[in-house]
Amino acid sequence: MKTYPKIGIRPIIDGRLGGIRESLEETTMNMAKAVVALFNAELKYPDGTPVVCVVADTCIGGVKEAADCADKFERENVGVSLSVTPCWCYGSETMDMNPLLPKAIWGFNGTERPGAVYLAATLAAHNQKGLPAFGIYGKDVQDMGDQHIPEDVREKLLAFARAGLAVAIMRGKSYLAIGSVSMGIAGSIVDADFFQSYLGMRNEYVDSSEILRRIQQHIFDPEEFKLALKWTREHCQEGEDFNQPKNVKSREEKDQDWEFVVKMTMIMRDLMIGNPRLVDQGYGEEAQGHHALLAGFQGQRQWTDFLPDGDFSEALLNSSFDWNGIRAPYLVATENDALNGVSMLFNYLLTNTAQIFADVRTYWSPEAVARVSGWKPEGRAADGFLHLINSGSATLDGTGKQRLGDKPVMKPHWEISDKEVDACLKATTFYPSNRDYMRGGGFSSKFVTEGGMPVTMCRLNLIKGVGPVLQIAEGWTIDLPEDVHRILDERTDKIWPTTWFVPRLTGEANFSSVYAVMANWGSNHGAISYGHIGADLITLAAMLRIPVNMHNVAQEAIFRPSAWGAFGMDSEGSDYRACQVYGPLYK
């Protein structure tokens, strides 16, 4: 992306000249400057650059200054709107009226001037006009002019900004479907109305044959291909071929497959974002790409029945590095599961980290583990665990070989070292694909995610009569004893990447047990992000008017627009009712 949306800061003031406004000008503008400093220090765009904030030219005391601010925000590509004030102001005259901008108000908790009164009055105006806004109000009273941002206010400011930027970054981008529906998977029945109405995104489509055309007609950068193939041969270790003898390809055929999947990887990226080098080859149209923030590759079965599969390409694109070095991941959904792709996108935009795409494959009860392995699960695994695994397409960052101190992590790409890239690659083996599944061959990545990482799994589903709903499960990756891992892993597809996952249990409803989480998961796939980001996902979902039907986030951490409180005291029910009344953001 060449440009990113900015955060707009609106300093709101009591407009009465003749002593009142003049006495508040500096204090009000200093609130705005304090927020700018916070956002600049803590928030980054997906390319690693600090977020850019735009402050209104003047404090806003009435409708004329509010209109001037709106004009400036439109010129400056502002995608998120935050109003701040230490005092009473004229609510409906100064409020942000743009229906597409996520908006919040921070009303200063001080006794000298009633910032909280403005906050309450203007939130009421937002609710009455159907323009939901988040309210931010510190727990403790501060002294007028105190520029310190309390921790509780800081957390809400950052939560709002992270989610708001995710909304703004998605707007106007594309989901690129390469191919069509994979094996009847519902998530790969791409719903264009959902993308347009809820995310503000457009849909682009190319047939899978476009990849084959570009390979056969050499529509890719030949110099990059030489570099990419050399890097792949040096850094991507090939594993044993476990196929039946009749399905084992010759060394020459495997070498040809390596060349094919490297070209596939380059071409899939070019289809997403374009490649100016193609202009020099006379392919100006192909050079443009599809402005895709997210893509999906059908693969099975029409492609994989006779051509090398997309496992290598998806694994590398979803990782934070390749032959060109360390860079932001390109999000690609396996089997064109657009809904799990969006789940990955939500996670990614909130964290700037690569995402694991996996089947939510198996619930292992303690009794079943003991029966087949002789080991009784203990510690976090004591109540059982989930086996997350899919056909070699998960990000290699998911190995857990990046480090923060001595702990395994997944980092934004600008924090990753060359040593950590090397560790991720050394922990990964690329096995010749299972040709009972993937008749055309290819190479599947295999690693085991290191235990001890806090992670969040989410999934977006479409429900007839309701629309989109979001599921969230915070938990941890775990390690199993080596012999136990081997026994359990080899009962399924042992050449695919494995993540052993334990959700955090609450003792209630869908989180009463690990089994309950598995039983209530809404589809066959999940998107797994580093960190416990469930609260941020709930905030983002509310901005997009997507209800959350399953989560294990503490009630006190949930942050939604003020209007949600008017739809009842039960959090889940009020979320559903509010989303139904307001409808999708871009309706």
User: CA 482, 487, 491 angle in degrees (round to 5)?
Assistant: 140
How many beta carbons lie within 10 A of that of residue 50, not counting itself?
12
Asked about 335 being catalytic, the answer comes back as yes
Measured over the CA atoms of residue 242, residue 243, residue 244 and residue 249, the dihedral's sign is negative
DSSP string, 361-419: EEEE-HHHHHHHHS----GGGTT-EEEEE-SS-S-GGGG--EEETTEEE--BGGG--HH
Among 359, 450, 536, 575, the active-site one is 359
Residue 93 tokens read as 């005259």
Instruction: Report whether 359 belongs to an annotated binding site.
Output: yes
Asked about 359 being catalytic, the answer comes back as yes
* Contact criterion met (CB below 8 Å) for 15 and 66: no
Q: Which amino acid is at 278?
A: L
* Contact criterion met (CB below 8 Å) for 343 and 458: yes
> How far is CA 249 from its chain centroid?
38
Instruction: Report whether 218 belongs to an annotated binding site.
Output: no
For 147, 262, 297, 554, the CA distances from 256, given in Å and listed in that order, are 63, 10, 21, 52
The crossing angle, in degrees rounded to 10, of helices 251-273 and 222-235 is 120
Residue 278 tokens read as 């193609």
Instruction: Report whether 335 belongs to an annotated binding site.
Output: yes
> How far is CA 172 from its chain centroid?
17
- CA atoms within 13 A of residue 420's CA, in its CB half-sphere: 26
> How far is CA 529 from its chain centroid?
8
Tell me how far apart the alpha carbons of residues 131 and 111 are, in angstroms, rounded to a whole number.
28
DSSP string, 551-581: ----GGG----GGGGGG-SSHHHHHHHHHHH
Secondary structure string (H, E, C) spanning 457-523: EEEEEEECCCEEEEEEEEEEECCCCHHHHHHHHCCCCCCCCEEEEEECCCCCHHHCCHHHHHHHCCC
Among 14, 314, 335, 536, the active-site one is 335
**Residue whose C-alpha is closest to residue 156's, from 557, 548, 537:** 557
Q: Report the binding-site residues.
A: 335, 359, 525
User: Which residues are known to be catalytic?
Assistant: 335, 359
Q: Report the binding-site residues for Mn(2+).
A: 335, 359, 525
